[in-house]
Structure formats: C-alpha cells, structure tokens
Structure 1
C-alpha cells in the first residue's frame, strides 16, 4: 500500500513538473512600478506626465513609450519578455498619467470650506520659512554642527538617442551634465547623527524595508516646457532613515524622509529656475535663476508658494535642518565635503534605454502601485484627506507628487514654471 502511494506521488510530481510556470504578465509588472503609467492593456508601452502631454503617435513617441515600459517591468522581473513590438496607433490608446488629487475625498471633506484653515496654515508656514532663512543666514558651517555631502566624481553620462529630445539636451546628457549641476547638502547633525546622514531605503527580496547607510544621491533627468519650448530638468534626491518626533505627539514624524532638488535648464543649458520639495511633496519652494523672477499672484483657490531669492550658483550648497530636514539656506558650494555615491533612478525619463542597477531596482520596489511607501505613513493623513490627497505625508515615487493642498499642482507638470509665472527680467 505504501509503495502504491509513493508511486502515485512520484507520478503526480512528475506531471506537475511538466506544467508551464506562470509568470506575471507585462501589464501586471508595469502596474507594480508607479513611476510610469500604462498606455496599452499588454503593458508594453507607458508614459510619464510629460510624454502623455505630447502624444502625437509618431514612431519616435512609441519608441520612448516602450523604453519607459521596459524600464518599469525590469524592476520586478528581470526575465520578463516585454520587448518593444513596433509602433501602434493612438486610436483606442489615450495616454493618461494619474492625477494625484481625488475629487471624491474633496467632496466628502466639504473642500470649499475646509480649505480655508488649510490656506491659513500654509501662510503661517511661509512666514516660518522666511524666519528660518533669516536665522540661518549667518550660520557658520562648523564640523561640530554640520555634515556636508556632495556627489562623488564618478561619471553620470547617459547614452541618449531620443529624437524627441532637443539636440542640446542629448549632447549635454552624454557629457555628464547631471554632475555639473549637482547640489551639495550641509545637514545639521542634531542629537542623533545617524538620522541626519543620507542613505538609501530599499526593499529586500522578501519585501521588507531595509536601510543602507552608505551616503547616496539618486539622480535622473526629465523633461518639461517653458513658454512653449522644451526644457531639461535635472533631479537630485537624498533620503534619510526617519523624521523623529518633535515632542510626545508629532503628526509629521515617521519612517523615512527625504529631499528632492531640481534644476530647470533652457536649450542654451542655462538655468531658468530651481525648486525643492520633501519626497512626500510637502514644503515646496522655488528659486528663480539669475535674470528671472516669479510673477504669478496667488488666486483664491490656489495655495501660495514660497519663492526664495534668485540664485546665481548652478550647483549650490543647501542648508538642511536636523530631524525635520527642511531647506533653510542656499549658498555657494564649498570644496570640503563627504562624497555620496550617485545612482541613476529613471533613465527612461529622457528616452535612454540604459538599464537600472540592482540597488536602484531595490529602491524602486519600495513604492506600492498607488505611488507611495506604506511604511512611511504619517498621522497627518487623518487630518489632511479633505484636501484630496490620499495618504498625505507618505514618501512618494517620482511623478506622484502633489505639491499643493489647496488648488492643484503636480511637481512633474510640464508647464509648472509657466503656472508659477516665471518671466525673464534681463
């Protein structure tokens, strides 16, 4: 009897071993990575917010779309066969990128009324920010109080053949423009130095959140528009392990924190503006480049924004407070700093088919399909939901940042500089 059962078991195992292994579809893999949004049901094409805005159905457009899909699917399955299959037509494929605002939440939260105290709170925060800049204006960068970090000297040149990218940008990206404009970060050490040193959060193969303490700078290039002309955006992210609580009850405290600095370049490779936000999309600030200013007035429905001083340094030193990790000063760069390893976060943002490193893939796997890191949730989300942003305060993936609680602003909106009223005063 035992021999019979053993034989039957062996037969069943043999039969099962011949069954094909079911792999996730390309569409499933693409939906796991929220940096890009799918165009077709098969998951072979994807878009950023910029690419969706210029959809023309050309072969070059589909090629760029395919590069984004290939990058996103490779994050979750190295063996997936999601290769480019040739240009389609836009008929039946309307490219859309997710809106980070939920009208349902705003309706349930009686937004026309609840927005009033939120605007008042934002205005108070803008006054505090101005006070912080004044307080730190003369701060000496002593080694006892500050740690200074800058990108290491390794090359960050990309191979870009995207015909939809302006020729000066294609050439600049091959010549290491990302390194030339990289900022430095002077971070207050605070009571716990380990919480104020930039590292890299990743998700291990078992799906657990892990912290890598090596100082790291995530970089990528993206594309926008200003006054009808294409711009190149250089993006730099630093991450911290935690935002510790400021007192017994702090709704802003939680796991992980970070800063995202960006440089906007015109086609002469001259800066137009600089902007910065926390990686939750909070505390957005914009700095006109030398020769420009912000002219847009705050409307009744639109949240005011902090406009910093005009900047003349293309790679400034940013003063960052301990624990809250707020930018409170911008200065000329210095020569003495601790190097940070530079990692390409999203090459396909500018049409490069360059692959991702294993560390970057582990970082991209942090985010859920809705675009945020669940472990980074803040208590503030229980109070801010009437403004229409799900899980407000959570750390978010590139492309998924709403940067205004009242009104509407996306960090990656191609026309953000126009919305902010940037104009030349030369």
Structure 2
C-alpha cells in the first residue's frame, strides 16, 4: 500500500500548516515487541536508526506528542486504543500489512509535529542521517516507513499491545478508593439527575421574536452537502482490508461540514462575556499559550471506533473558551480555559447511530442515541453509570445550547441555523499539536508531555485525586480523556458503544 498524502495540501500558506493538514489524512498508529532484525548494511538499518534518533531526540528535548502511544522498540509505529484493539494473529497477510501501515502513519504524524518544534540547527543536523531526503522530513519518514513496514510484515506477528489507561492506580490505592468511591458515586448520580432536569425543562427562544433573543450563535449558515447527502457520499466510499473507509480530503471535509453543530451561548445585559466566546488557541511571541477571541474557531477531527464488530467513523468537533470564572468565594471547578467536544458516530454504510459530548477535561460525558436506537448498558460492578440524553434526529442540523460561564449543555434543538450566527473558522485539530507564534518562532504544542493544557488545572484536583485521574478538571488532548470517576472508561475506547448496549 502506497503512503497516503493529500494532493490538495499545496494551498496552505505556511509549510507547517500544510504539513498538519496532510498528516490528518494519513491514517493511524502502533503495537509492541523488539525491532526486526536487519542486515547492518541494509537501507532498513539506516531508516531504523533515523527513526530511533528522532524519537530519542524528542524525548530528550521534551517535545513529545502524546496523542498516540509510542511502541517500545518500534519507533516507526504508534498506536491508539482503536488500533490496539485489532488481533494481529487473526489477520491475513494483507490486513496485517495494512494495519502496520496505519500505525506507521501515526508515527509519521507524531514525529513530524514534534519535529516542527525543534530548532532549525537541530533539524538540519538530523536530516544528514538521510541525505536522499535532506530537505523534507515528511518524505524521509514516509520513505523509511515503507521499507520498515515491509520488513516488519515478514517477521513473526506482533503480540497484542494494550494502550496504558489514563488512571493512576497508586492514587486509588493511597486514597482508599473502595471507600472514597462511595460518596463520589452518589455525587455522580445526583449530577446526572440535576442535569437531566435542566435539559428536560429547557426551551429554546422563539425564532419569531429575534429582538427578545439574548442568545449569541456561532455556526455556518449554508452548508453543503446536507447531512443526508453526506451520509450517501459516505456509503459510496470503498473500504480498505481493515474496513476503514478510503476517504479523500474532499469527502472528509464534506462530512465534517455537514454535521458541524451550531453553538449558542446566552448574553447578559452587558453583552456576551469574553469567556463565553469560542476562541482560537494561539501562541504569544514569548511562546506562551494565549486565547484569540477575535477568531471563533471550531476544531475538527476524524477518528474510528466500533459498533458490533463494524468500524465506525467518528466526527469530532472541539470548542474552546478562555476560562470558567469563579462562582462564589471558593469555586473548585473554576480556572483558565474551558471547552466541550461534540462527536458524531457514523457507520460506513451511511447511518448515524449516536452522538456524545464531554468537556475538554473529560468531565460531564453524555451520550445521545440517534432516533431508532436505544441504550441498554450492561455495567460491571463498581462502574460509573452512563448519562443518557434524549434521542436525536440523525439527519438534522443541531444547535447546542450552552450555559454561560460553566458551558454545561442545557439543551439540543434541530432546525436551521439562526440568521445572526457568527461563522466559525474551521481548523484541523492537529493545529493544536503545533502552534506557530506571532513571530513564527517558537512552534509549540498547546499540550504538555502529559497531554494537559498548561494553566488549566483546577482546585478540584486536591479533592478528586483518590479517583486516580491525573489533574482532574484540567483540559487535555484527545486520546487521553478518562470520562468516569468510578471504574475505568475512556472517550476513545472503541468498545464504548457496545458498553452502552446500543
């Protein structure tokens, strides 16, 4: 299988941006054991050394990108919960090769984004290891990836690899988790009940009284195709040996455009508060993360999951706000930055099976089945219950109504976009993994080496730590979200829909 790089990447104005767009189209990541034995004089040896040196350099300089998991001994592969859920032993040679290629693509994506954060002098020094590709890191990584995947495919099959979860067992042990979990469980159930009551009692403003409407809207007025046409387009795509739809850049963008939600936030008498304006995350000249309120931005991404042994396509939309302000003298949940992630679950056959949302900390996860589906969770003992919302029309444009400041979801409605809606700037989520500052240097990631958004920590971490989550309440990168205090559950778990009993 040839490496997949988009021919449409040329139109990006800055090299780092077209690299990010290209990477978003490549595919996915990795698994374990030791590197394949290769002839010391072979091209594979040079390529393996190149990947290893890059990987070690990123670790030494702490420019690690943790969206996907590194594989010990195999620097040309990175994995995720989805890719690690496949069984290599049961694959045909063709599917096994495709599986390796997807995971090599994740390594290329991660290494390239980490590369952008190195000084120019170090980049030039590292590229001398591969003189045939001395001016193009992506070409070098793809060139080497093809060779190493081909070599790995001839070796004994890799064993299944478990991606580490994002719970810290030592905290649960130290915090007497079996006892501490009891009040937390009651608190979660009460929180679900309260939010359900608020959502059930919410009524959107009447469209025939715009002068009395206190809400501000962010979304696209005219989108093509419609959700219905986009689903038809998806059903027409061929799939690779692993069941992954083969979508080009145009198809991916049409899907993301068709299902993007409208965000509604209420204003007070003084107008819309600054911390209720969707923002773009940027970097100051000194390299510090800063909110850009003048560019309301919707970050988009496509991932994969499973439903009854079928691959699902996940459309993910992320919105960020500058802060959650304190409400009272001691607000444990207040702090810098806030936001929500909205996700649409699709079958390659062209059906919507559900929607879900969480805050960017992994908190307040809620699932909404598409009409025609219902949930029957079968929960293990000691597992946090799911928060299930109303069934939603799978082919309608949706508006998400958020509470001011907390950004809790108050309700969801269907229908056309409000005429006063401010258009979103659409950005690939990968941009958050390599942000360019105002003066072009330095390029930094929004997230640190633990996947956390610096400065977004909450006081609640000093109380909720016995639940075992790293810095509970802090914002974090996709792929690292624990979404339950009781038991273990992750936003990117490919078996999540089956756990819901959908």
Per the normalisation by structure 1, the TM-score is 0.83
Q: Does 1:145 align with 2:197?
A: no
Relative to structure 2, which stretch is displaced further, 198-207 or 104-113?
A: 198-207
**1:170 Cα deviation after fit:** 2.8
Counterparts of 1:16-415 in structure 2, within 5 Å, are: 25-29=54-58, 32-41=64-73, 43-54=75-86, 56=88, 58-78=96-116, 79=123, 81=137, 83=141, 84=145, 85-87=147-149, 88=152, 89=155, 95-140=161-206, 142=210, 145-151=214-220, 163-164=240-241, 166=243, 168=245, 170=247, 173-174=251-252, 176-190=254-268, 193-204=273-284, 206-213=286-293, 214-314=295-395, 315-335=397-417, 336=419, 337-346=421-430, 365-415=445-495
Q: Is the 8 A contact 2:340 2:357 kept in 1?
A: yes
Q: Which residue of 1 aligns with 2:5?
A: none
For the structure 1 residues 152 and 200, does the alpha-carbon distance in structure 2 shift closer, same or farther, using more than 3 Å as the test? farther
**1:203 Cα deviation after fit:** 4.0
For the structure 1 residues 324 and 90, does the alpha-carbon distance in structure 2 shift closer, same or farther, using more than 3 Å as the test? farther
**1:90 Cα deviation after fit:** 6.8
RMSD, aligned α-carbons: 3.2
Relative to structure 2, which stretch is displaced further, 53-62 or 95-104?
A: 53-62
For the structure 1 residues 248 and 356, does the alpha-carbon distance in structure 2 shift closer, same or farther, using more than 3 Å as the test? closer
1:255 aligned counterpart, secondary structure: strand
**1:370 Cα deviation after fit:** 1.4
2:322 aligned counterpart, secondary structure: strand
For the structure 1 residues 389 and 124, does the alpha-carbon distance in structure 2 shift closer, same or farther, using more than 3 Å as the test? same
For the structure 1 residues 356 and 249, does the alpha-carbon distance in structure 2 shift closer, same or farther, using more than 3 Å as the test? closer
1:293 aligned counterpart, secondary structure: coil
Relative to structure 2, which stretch is displaced further, 173-182 or 77-86?
A: 77-86
Cα separation, 1, equivalents of 2:204 and 2:223? 32
**1:297 Cα deviation after fit:** 5.0
Q: Is the 8 A contact 2:99 2:242 kept in 1?
A: no
2:172 aligned counterpart, secondary structure: helix
Cα separation, 1, equivalents of 2:380 and 2:105? 39
Q: Is the 8 A contact 1:39 1:93 kept in 2?
A: no
For the structure 1 residues 90 and 324, does the alpha-carbon distance in structure 2 shift closer, same or farther, using more than 3 Å as the test? farther
Cα separation, 1, equivalents of 2:148 and 2:481? 32
**1:138 Cα deviation after fit:** 4.6
**1:372 Cα deviation after fit:** 1.1
Q: Which has the higher helix share?
A: 2
Cα separation, 1, equivalents of 2:435 and 2:347? 29
**1:169 Cα deviation after fit:** 5.8
Q: Is the 8 A contact 1:52 1:97 kept in 2?
A: yes
For the structure 1 residues 25 and 294, does the alpha-carbon distance in structure 2 shift closer, same or farther, using more than 3 Å as the test? same
Q: Which has the higher strand share?
A: 1
Q: Does 1:417 align with 2:483?
A: no
For the structure 1 residues 418 and 346, does the alpha-carbon distance in structure 2 shift closer, same or farther, using more than 3 Å as the test? farther
Higher relative contact order (CA 8 A, sep 6+): 1
Q: Is the 8 A contact 1:60 1:162 kept in 2?
A: no
Relative to structure 2, which stretch is displaced further, 105-114 or 204-213?
A: 204-213
Q: Is the 8 A contact 2:171 2:468 kept in 1?
A: yes
**1:295 Cα deviation after fit:** 0.9
Q: Is the 8 A contact 2:238 2:245 kept in 1?
A: no
Q: Is the 8 A contact 2:434 2:446 kept in 1?
A: no
Cα separation, 1, equivalents of 2:181 and 2:218? 38
